């Protein structure tokens, strides 16, 4: 028992709970204060437990709570996605692909079909890895997270949710219940591109999301948001690059300059998957490609 197999070891005994309502989940969190972990898919949690990076005594499975699993679109309010909604359901949703194709594009590039059937959008965000594929597109879409506790609820922009690798602003007594995305801008188009070592199911070495709205003549940039993933401790906006573009006529020279500016805003590190210098260069390359694709769609 407990024999080590590489870095993985057999799990110790764990108590497992299946609440049917959010209220039941909060009761369990309160009862096992600090000793319980909530999850929906568990694709990252179980791996961390195997490596002994986490050792909770109690697991609270949120999959049985209907309120946390939904995809609902209203023209005036936008899109609501329950935090426990599996990634494949989002990828296959006709509502999401029609109104927010950048999100469909991002999810389609994540992991494998098997993992997407289990992994959830809430889990992808709450794990707070800098390379999380859903973060950049949600940031450029202006998405917010609904955080709930026994006492209250609050809304926070996705771009303000992350504090660092594996760290968010989420309190121990809170849950992410849903993601809310405002109605899409008229005539706007977005693109998410990622660069990996081998294939798209790998973790991103660099991720770039661009959301672009032009004037009626399709010449002047009315609005733009740019988000970068895997090139800083948290997913981040390239705000200087955005400001340079707004109100300008887009041409190759401007886009080249903005791509270089975004690369300078990145804060990458050297690690086993890539050097910081290479990541900056790939930000520049992917930015140019993302703008080209977005302009072709507008």
| Measured torsion, CA atoms of residues 203, 201, 79, 190, in degrees rounded to the nearest 10 | 80
Burial profile 37-47: b = 16 or more Cβ within 10 angstroms, e = fewer: bbbbbbbbbee
pLDDT, position 1: 31
Domain locations in the chain? 4-61, 66-181, 191-297
For the domain 4-61, what is the CATH code? Answer: 3.30.43.10
Name the nearest CA neighbour of 132 among 265, 237, 228.
228
Instruction: Determine how β-strand 189-195 pairs with β-strand 206-214.
Output: antiparallel
pLDDT single digits (tens) 72-108? 999 999 999 999 999 999 999 999 999 999 999 999 9
| 3-class DSSP string for the chain | CCCEECCEECCCCCEEECCCCHHHHHHHHHHCCCCEEEECCCCCHHHHHHCCCCCCCEEEECCCCHHHCCEEEECCCEEEEECCCEHHHHHCCHHHHHHCHHHHHHHHCCCCHHHHHHCEHHHHHHCCCCCCCCHHHHHHCCCEEEEECCCCEEEEEHHHCEEECCEECCCCCCEEEEEEECCCCCCCEEEEEEECCCCCCCCCCEEEEEEEEECCCCCEEEEEEEEEECCCCCCEECHHHHHHHCCCECCHHHHHHHHHHHHHHCCCCCECCECHHHHHHHHHHHHHHHHHHHHHHC
The answer to whether 21 and 64 have CB atoms below 8 angstroms apart is no
CATH number 3.30.465.10 is the correct assignment for the domain at 66-181: yes
- For domain 191-297, give the fold: Enolase-like; domain 1 (3.30.390)
Beta bridge partners of 179: 81, 145
Residue numbers of the chain with a pLDDT score lower than 50: 1-6
pLDDT, position 6: 47
pLDDT, position 237: 98
User: Token pair 């209220």 is at which residue?
Assistant: 23
pLDDT single digits (tens) 226-239? 999 999 999 999 99
């Amino acid at each position: 028992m407990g024999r080590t197999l590489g870095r993985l070891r057999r799990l110790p005994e764990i108590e497992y709970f299946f609440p049917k309502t959010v209220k039941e989940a909060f009761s369990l969190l309160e009862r096992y204060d600090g000793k319980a972990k909530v999850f929906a898919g568990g694709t990252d949690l179980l791996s961390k437990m195997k490596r002994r990076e986490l050792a909770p005594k109690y697991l609270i499975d949120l999959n049985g709570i209907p309120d946390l699993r939904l995809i609902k679109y209203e023209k005036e309010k936008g899109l609501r996605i329950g935090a426990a909604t599996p990634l494949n359901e989002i990828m296959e949703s006709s509502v999401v692909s029609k109104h927010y194709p950048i999100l469909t594009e991002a999810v389609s590039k994540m992991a494998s079909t098997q993992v997407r059937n289990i992994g959830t959008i809430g889990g992808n965000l709450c794990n707070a890895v800098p390379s999380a594929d859903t973060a950049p597109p949600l940031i450029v879409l202006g998405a917010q997270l609904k955080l709930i506790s026994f006492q209250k609820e609050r809304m926070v922009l996705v771009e303000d949710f992350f504090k660092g690798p594996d760290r968010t602003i989420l309190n121990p007594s809170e849950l992410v219940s849903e993601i809310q995305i405002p109605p899409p801008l008229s005539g706007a188009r977005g693109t998410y591109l990622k660069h990996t070592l081998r294939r798209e199911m790998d973790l991103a070495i660099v991720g770039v999301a661009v959301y672009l709205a032009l004037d009626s003549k399709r010449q002047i940039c009315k609005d733009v948001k740019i988000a970068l993933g895997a090139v800083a401790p948290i997913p981040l906006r390239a705000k200087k690059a955005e400001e340079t573009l707004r109100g300008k006529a887009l041409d190759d020279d401007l886009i080249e300059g903005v791509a270089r500016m975004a690369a300078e805003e990145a804060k990458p590190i050297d690690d086993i998957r890539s050097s910081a210098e290479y990541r900056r260069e790939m930000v520049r390359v992917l930015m140019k490609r993302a703008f080209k694709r977005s302009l072709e769609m507008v």
